[in-house]
Amino acid sequence: MNRHHSEGSGQPAETPPTGVDLLYDPRWNKGTGFTERERDELHIRGLIPPRMFSQEEQARRILGNFHRKGSDLDKYIFMIGLQDRNQTLFYSIVIDNIEEMAPIIYTPTVGEACQNFAHIFRRAKGLYVTAHDRGRVADLLRNWPERDVAVIVVSDGERILGLGDLGAGGMGIPNGKLSLYTACAGIHPWRCLPVLLDVGTDNEAIRNDPLYLGINQPRLRGQEYDDLVEEFMMGVREVFPGALIQFEDFATRNAVRLLDRYRTRMCAFNDDIQGTAAVTLAGLLSAARITQQGLLDQTIVFLGAGSAATGIGHLIVSAMQREGLSREEALVHVWFVDSKGLVVKSRDDLAEHKRPFAHECEFLPDLLSVVRELHPTTLIGVSGQPGTFTEPVVKAMADANERPVILALSNPTSRAECTAEQAYRWTGGRAVFASGSPFGPVEVDGKTCVPGQGNNVYIFPGLGLGVVASGARFVTDDMFLTAAKVLAQLVTEESLAQGSIYPPLTQIREVSAEIAAAVARLAQEQGLATREVPRDALAFVKAQMYEPVYESYV
């Protein structure tokens, strides 16, 4: 895909600015990479050092400086600064060093960046829609300089990773997610729009910070909140028709109902609910190849019963139904433990989204008693509560299973229910372990165990590419089921032998392309595609993937 225009956009190739404007535009700037002819014809001779460096030479300079930074947050600030200066170089470095860069530009470091957002702020990126913008949201959207927007990631900052309400500091999440859309699936950076719905914050410590960047008021609630979201969504339909909207890090109270409200009206999904569900289901399907137990042989216990957890539960139930179970039969395999204990029908304090998973059985007050009573094959943590997969809990899993499956998915790393080393040591290396944030390999009794990372980056970029490439009108649950199955199929026997239930992150662009092709085909089969998907869907989506390579401007 040519970096100067969007494939299928109907827009002519743009031409770069000239002079100093060119050097201050990250979309076009190549720094010392401009040729002699470009320096003359674009009127930048003398404005940059005289020696020309190749993109590869520039990358070596950047990586040298990157590795000299003293902390991950410093590395984050350094890389975001590069993104603000030279997008092409930024994305080429991220793609070529994805295992090292992904934890810096996104989880876990992005959580720390959001917490410190007001203090590390350098340059505005994205669009802020505030509670004071009612009645003019569409006009505000038109202020965005690009018209051909393909993907919008929007957050209201209320539930940032496992860190809670960070208000306007949550803008780091849409920016980080969209960087991964580009790096991992080739969605052109010009076609990505990060949005923060700034409706205030209930975090008093943030509001009392004199450098806080957002509106200083308690969170908007009720009908006023809903009216602002509705105006935003309708504004997107008007200004950026057909754009894919990804809801990100909304609190459970809003996440579930906003998804239900808009999923059949617009091309929209919630990554915390549906993307997390798909990557978790893929992990279960991969783990089954290690444990030699099918999906229908599983008894799954969740610690945490928020929107992400129940979203996973619903997708697992759907997958089991496709293997022949009724919904009622499938629900028997899925159990939830919340802050009060086991989710059962006798409880009168259950939120609506938990009730489908309430069982007719005796109440149990804590996770350990649940594991000892139910003997689950799989334990999934989506609680945001660190250390809750204790040694007794993990050992109880090992007592009940030859290869217990333990997925500690809470982000960032500081919120993980247990570490990889704990899971492996407490089970004598028998656990099949994956986490939301990365952990390194662990050696147990002379065997090296390589934990997988159940990172949504394996799902949402590829799914988004498939939706964009096909022009799908809606995002369906079948697309997430398809994405999960494709991802599981891409895990090699070599990875499984090391205990890893996800492909190496170094393969992410190929993984995304395969998922995109499958999603695009499905969109056409379901009558949702507005663009023709050719027989070779893989070549079709690959042709639309942005490649961050310097091109000649003259």
Q: With b meaning 16 or more CB within 10 Å and e meaning fewer, what string describes 170-180?
A: bbbbbbbbbbb
* pLDDT value for 152: 98
Report how far residue 489's alpha carbon sits from residue 312's, in angstroms, rounded to the nearest whole number: 19
Instruction: Report the alpha-carbon angle 516-453-270, nearest 5.
Output: 50
* pLDDT value for 14: 75
* pLDDT value for 10: 33
Active site residue 485: no
The secondary structure of 271-323 as a DSSP string is IIIIIHHHHHHHHHHHHHHHHT--GGG--EEEE--SHHHHHHHHHHHHHHHHT
- The tens-digit pLDDT sequence of the chain (554 residues) is 333 433 333 333 578 999 999 999 999 999 999 999 999 999 999 999 999 999 999 999 999 999 999 999 999 999 999 999 999 999 999 999 999 999 999 989 999 999 999 999 999 999 999 999 999 999 999 999 999 999 999 999 999 988 999 999 999 999 999 999 999 999 999 999 999 999 999 999 999 999 999 999 999 999 999 999 999 999 999 999 999 999 999 999 999 999 999 999 999 999 999 999 999 999 999 999 999 999 999 999 999 999 999 999 999 999 999 999 999 999 999 999 999 999 999 999 999 999 999 999 999 999 999 999 999 999 999 999 999 999 999 999 999 999 999 999 998 888 999 999 999 999 999 999 999 988 999 999 899 999 999 999 999 999 999 999 999 999 999 999 999 999 999 999 999 999 999 999 999 999 999 999 999 999 999 999 999 999 999 999 999 999 999 999 99
505, 99 in Cβ contact below 8 A?
yes
Torsion on CA atoms 304, 281, 416, 350, rounded to nearest 10: -10
The secondary structure of 46-78 as a DSSP string is TTS-SS---HHHHHHHHHHHHHT-SSHHHHHHH
Q: Give the tokens for residue 334.
A: 């899925």
- 3-state DSSP assignment of residue 79: helix
464, 436 in Cβ contact below 8 A?
no
Give the chain's domains with CATH numbers. Answer: 110-266 (3.40.50.10380), 274-457 (3.40.50.720)
Q: Which of 30, 75, 177, 354 is catalytic?
A: 177
Cα–Cα distances (Å) from 454 to 110, 162, 321, in that order, read 17, 15, 23
Q: How many CB atoms lie within 10 A of CB 2?
A: 11
Q: Which of 30, 76, 91, 106 is catalytic?
A: 106
* pLDDT value for 4: 40
Residue 218 DSSP class: P
Report how far residue 173's alpha carbon sits from residue 179's, in angstroms, rounded to the nearest whole number: 10
Nearest to 157, CA basis, from 99, 213, 83: 213
Q: Count Cβ atoms within 10 A of the Cβ of residue 1 and give its class: 0-12 exposed, 13-18 middle, 19 or more buried.
A: middle
* pLDDT value for 7: 39
Active site residue 177: yes
Q: How many CB atoms lie within 10 A of CB 322?
A: 13
